[in-house]
Structure 1
Amino acid sequence: MATASNVLSEDQFQCCICLDVFTDPVTIPCGHNFCKNCIIKHWDIKLQCPMCNRLFDRRPELHVNTFISEIAAQFRQLGFKEIISCSKQQQAKPGEVHCDVCTEIKVKALKSCLVCATSYCKTHLEPHQRISGLKRHKLIDPVQDLEGLMCKKHDKPLELFCKTDQVCVCQFCIESNHNRHHIVSLNCEYEETKAKLGQTEVKIQQMIQERHLKIRELQCSLELSKEDADRELEDSVYIFLNVSQSVEEGLAQLIDRIEKKQITTEKQAKGFIKELETEISELTRRGSELEQLLHTEDHLRFLQTLPSLNSVPPTKDWSEVKVHSSYEGIVRRAVAQLEEKLTKEVKKLVEAELQRAQQFAVNVSLNPDTAYPKLILSDDGKQVAHGDSKQNLPDKPERFKSCFGVLAKQSFASGRFYYEVESINRKGEIMVCPRNGFWTVCLRNGTVYHANTSPPVCLSLRSKPQKVGVFVDYEEGLVSFYDVDAADLIYSFTGCKFTDRLYPYFSPCLNGGGKNSAPLIISPVNNTHLLNE
């Protein structure tokens, strides 16, 4: 029965309508065969061949196919229907390994033989399970490329692994090219490599998890950034609207003062002009009377009228009278008032900025291995002062030799951080600048404050800072110094290009004969005074 299944194919004895072995097979004019009842029922719907789709004008005459009928009867007696069903269940699907012995129907392979280099279905595998010589063959789960499992030089199974050359070998390879090499079984190498791969898989899964956490961290940071941006936009709009309103109000008040002053000046001038016009009228009338009197020939009337016309009518002394409106300083005073308002708004912004910076406060302590030999550090690493004598300290690579400085133990390569330092009047110079990797501010000669840029920038401060706050945003390239007590910005380095780790830097400078003996102190951050304002 297995042999018959390989000789005849399914479409030779199966009706394409009912998909069963022919019953009363008939042939239609186009040459195709069907069960009689199947084609009659099909033609009740449409006069067309189900195989070639040929159309008929009328029902063709049906002829019994005696040859197909006899063969179908024989197969039905042999139980071929069951063979077809079995073949369908075992037939190899695309991508599956099929039996190399089967010819017509490619049945799914059950095992592959490394010795025969052949894959077998259940039927054709039977000799390997029955014949003693074949029983010794190595059977494995079916694989597509059996040649890849065989040694190309010796045509033997690759059952061993050379750890020296990291290749699979057969037993004959050991005696030739791999003599005295470290040889293990494939199974041993498989288990060892599998264990390593398991560790690698765990590490990969851990890396995946870390990256998922990083994604959530970045998403959280993005949300916080969006909230910060929305808040900054809201605050900026509010502030700029206030500033714009203040400018508009200041301009309106300035215009109003100028216009009112001009109106007052015009009113005063018009009053003076009116008085002058009145005096001119009176003088003109008196002049006319005098002219008439001068031309009269009546001596009596002349002498009688002369006393009343001989004097000048009473008038105002206009020699010191002036009309002048002074606008000197009116614009300057208005701008000064506007500047005062803007200064108040800026101070509010700096206070809020300092308060936000203090949220990133870090615990900073001094690293004694970096301190200049004349610097004296406190036991808790929070204070540094300049001493008169040089201490005998180990000459470590990280120690300052010519600069009166000391670094913090802590360093930062990302993010934002903030710390505060208490300071007093001190003398000395710090020859540091951004191009040498220093971002600092300093006090020189006890009165002059500088930002150590190239060249240095002289700072105009409202008061002498006693406590300085330092805020750094690594990614933004920002270093800002604040007067903590005054809640004022001292100076900001912007556009910095950080590439290495940053260490907080401190320098009390020279002792100055005792004038600069007080230490530089790293103090705890306390922003409650800002929160209460």
Structure 2
Amino acid sequence: MMAEAQLCGLQDEFTCSVCLDTLTDPVSIPCGHNFCLKCLTDCWDQSQECSCPQCRHTFTTRPELNRNTLLNEVIKKLKKTTLSSPPPQNYAGPGDVECDFCTGKKFRAVKSCLTCMASYCQTHLQPHYEVAALKHHKLVDPDRNLKEKLCEKHQKSLEIFCKTDDSCICMMCVVTGHNGHKMVELETVREEKQKQLGVTLSDIKMGLQEREKTLKEMKRAMDEMKMSVVREVEENEKSFTALIRCIEEAHRTLTERIRDQEKREMEKANGIMERLEKEIEELKRGEAELKDVSETKDHLHFLQTFSSRCVLPADGDSLSFTVTADFSSVDLRKELSGLTKSLEKISRWDIMTRTPSVGVFTGFTHEHEVICDSSVVTNVLVFGDYRERSPPKISL
């Protein structure tokens, strides 16, 4: 049992670096590496030279392939105790960068080489650690956008930033089209742009806080308005229930107009609140995107996305809002006791709103105006500032 456990632990040693599966009909070559007979034969048949797929050692003549019978027996025993295929989590899944050298089902890349402009799984990456000519290559975390790091004109790595043209360039661009231009390393200009990004993030955060504060004030104003509406309706109910049918009819009409005004104010306020919530969502999304850009270690990706991301949205008019405030009809109730003969005309009262301040719910107010015209007395209910209709006017 202990021997079988040791064999299971050595499963990776019996994996072909070409097909990435357990060796089948294994053969050994002079450099000491083992491969499936078919994998190695196909590989050499399709290549102009014979080299080791793992260490890249080149042979002047094609070596004779000898089956490794001892290794084959060990593998057979291994297959009886463990699954022959590599762990499924090594395969590339959605969102993973695939190995460019895997054939068939591809493994997940663990590194990308900026010199080779290719991505490698753990197995195919080994030559970069073992072969002297590959050790100086620049390895980075897996990157699926390697082509974006190449100069479109020269197909060379973008390594320099030209301040004159505000663009990333390769070494060939430096000598062919940017003579006399001011050029710096990517890291240097990244530091400069990072400061600008910080300022933009700060402005966005401030705008976000202002909108959240305004939204909070708007919600509070709406609560106050609802309470004022309830209070006003109740007070009117008390006043009108004690009067005759004419007063009840006038009361019904007045209440309907108050409700209509409430509806208009609510619709206006809800529109402003909807805009505020939308702007807050957009600012949060912009903040998250800028944070992602700010935290990336990829200087080139940072610079390529900086211009389109580091833009402060234009302020709208949603930070200022006007809403009618308090409902109050104290003066009206005082006058009702002396207006018995005019009750039939109360249903013709007009309702107007007054909005004297921004961000504060000031409510509805009443002015009772009696316009005298020989034989006609007109009662007008006014919410807020009422424009004088015709003299003479008696304010009660």
Q: So what's the TM-score if we normalise by structure 1?
A: 0.35
Higher relative contact order (CA 8 A, sep 6+): 2
Structure with bigger helix share is 2
Q: So what's the TM-score if we normalise by structure 2?
A: 0.46
